[in-house]
Structure 1
Amino acid sequence: MQTIVIAGGGAGGLELATRLGNTLGRPGRARIILVDRSPAHFWKPLLHTVASGKLDPQVYQVDYSAQAAEHGFHFVCGEVEGVDRARRMLRVGAWRAADGSEMQPARAIPYDRLVLAFGAVTNFFGTSGAAEHALTLDHVQDAERFRQRFIASCMRASSRHAYTPVDIVIVGGGATGVELAAELSHTVRELARYKVHSLDPASDLRIRLVERGERLLPQLNPRLSRRAARHLRRLGIEICTGAAVARVDADAVHDSAGNCYPSDITLWAAGVEAPEVCTRLGLTLNRLKQVMVTPSLQTVDDVRIFALGDCSSHVCPVKGAAVPPRAQVAHQQALFLADLLSREWKDALPQFRYRDYGSLVSLGPSAAVGALAGASGREVLVGGWTARLLYRLMYQKHVMALHGFARMAAQTLAHWIRTKVTPPVRLH
């Protein structure tokens, strides 16, 4: 019986483990092991809703151990420290509790095939002070840290005799930055309605989006970028394009043109790179520390090691460009590897083909914009409630891939009921 180890339980890694557990683990054809440093999974595209207080991560997370028991794979909690390729062993560090006590010791897990699915982390591009003073949205803990600081800043400002505005600076005008800015505008109004603070949302909170490029959402059609910018401005959000950040201080962000943006909280959402663990694997990397893979998603250095998602660099053989770091890429690569690893191939391995179905960006509770790939290959622009509905269906599709249609439908109904009996944002 071969052992397939999947390092990383993000969108792609967990879906791959679930599918291989169903097809190989349950019938006893292979031993499937998922390794992750956290005990639970949360879909990363929703982290901005945790940061704004819209969602409770405890309600939406998936416990790896429960998923493993239900779908025929094993789960090991611990942080990957390296790979012994000669002995085919994955080195995993000790799992420690919040107080630092050791719950499980460090260990080495043997593998016949290894899949790297580490995801990505924030890329500060060497900007002075960014790593020290800017928050990120890499993990649930990061989103919770931002939410708590945001609420605390609003409460402190409203307790002063003379109000001083709360300044939030979001560096990066991509999907994460735009979605967080829109949700924060909604959150501050809801907190005022529940008397959590006494600030005037229109004048006492200043949210700035600082983008290096000439427009927001550069991956979308320019018409959609302009529509998103108009919507954000109506929400009172200041948009600063063509502003390359040169330095981040504890209380301000400075761009290369000499402009200074006061900041009580700075969030960096300007780019991603592969995590540091990729540099310790002895594999060929690109400038973003991503593992270079062949068209079959095998690493160029070791045919027994595969990589998918944001930690890998797959160059499309037709277009000659690397696929973007998106959840739909990880989903398609998980489907591809689930089929490839489930069968024995006597001839050459099949090649992964990425199909871009489009992009959707949320602009708050009731709006979204996006572009879908039409049947003829032409781009179809969507907005308003149509885009908002399609945006919500993306998460339902992820849940269905993990749990099936019946459980997805039940969870959707339960979440809808919860929104009717609880406040629209977390109040503390």
Structure 2
Amino acid sequence: MTRKKCWICGKCVHRRGEMKTHLQSHIEARKDECDICGKAYSTTAALRAHRTVHTVFDDHECDVCGEKCIGSRDLKIHRNTHNGVKGHECDICGRKFIWIGNFNRHLTRHMHIHTGIKDYTCQICGKAFTSLGNLKTHLNAHMGVKNYECEICGKAFTQHGDLKRHRNTHTGVKNYTCQICGKAFTLLGNLKTHGNIHTGVKNYECEICGKVFNQISNLKTHQNTHTGVKQYACQICGRAFIRHDDMKKHEKTHTGVKTYACQICGRVFTQIGDLKRHENIHTGFKNYECQICGKAFAMLGNLKTHGHIHTGVKQYICQICGKAFSQLSHLKTHGNTHTGVKNYVCQVCGKAFRQHSQLKIHENTHAGVKIYACQICGKAFSLLASLKRHGHTHTESRPMSVRSLED
């Protein structure tokens, strides 16, 4: 069995799990803290070396910017940042590094990029790195150490690069642009995930129904349809939604702002989706067809409501008399029979009706439209009731209500 050596103390262990536990002991053993900045170290020697960072050396001050350095070597390195002296150049790519005597560790580490040499290997997962600093940073991910904290929201990261990229989410900087559609992102990972939309790659599969998605966020949202979890709640009315986008769209209904106007009739809507569905009324486009009777509808909601006719489901119940209806509109119309409200008024004679259908039939009497014809003599009527009364003249069966009117 291969033995693994701790890069901190040199102790050897036999398993990766043991190495992880051992490294954690170094983190827990860091009891020596700097009394100036609070940073902790596992040994007194390491703490003593760190304290020199806070020590001010008046004789090592930069004559350009006034910054104080620790020792003449650090001052020499710092001055090169002002004069631009980069005496060490990579023979392969030409990248230059600041002059620090005859040997430059930065150039040496940089050369590993071209040679592929990775001398520093993680004893836990086996990942290799070109520098010891990168390995140490990587080990923080295994031990849960997050030294880099966002000063805006407090979120912490194991690597400084991750913190820098995270800051872009606050500043709005989007450095990663899709070469196909031009959409920009703050994180490279988001750009890569977005690329699946163009390539058609769907790597994320639902374990319940097998449906696949090109983004893991879409998969997580979809999984809520199986669990019924609605984690996005409206702050005004409390209505909850599975998707964050649906919740944001819903919140617009409370503002009363309707920015989407129909170019044909002028009706306005709070959501563009509602406008598009409304436009189907004018175009006659009916994309939603009933699989049972073939009747088509311009809106999906209307198709779903229509489906109750075939299933016999009547989920809308009158709270006064208990009568049930398959459609909400029918329940609302029925409610007028209890309240006596007549909202539908004839523009010709002023007569009011409880139902819109009753008004439309009544208007036929003014327009002279006669859509009800007798099957025996062919005589036509504007109202169905008039046709039924006329039918008695052929059967010689005359109701008392008719006779009393003639008397």
TM-score, reference length from structure 1: 0.14
Higher strand content, 1 or 2: 1
Q: For the pair shown, which has the larger CA radius of gyration, 1 or 2?
A: 2
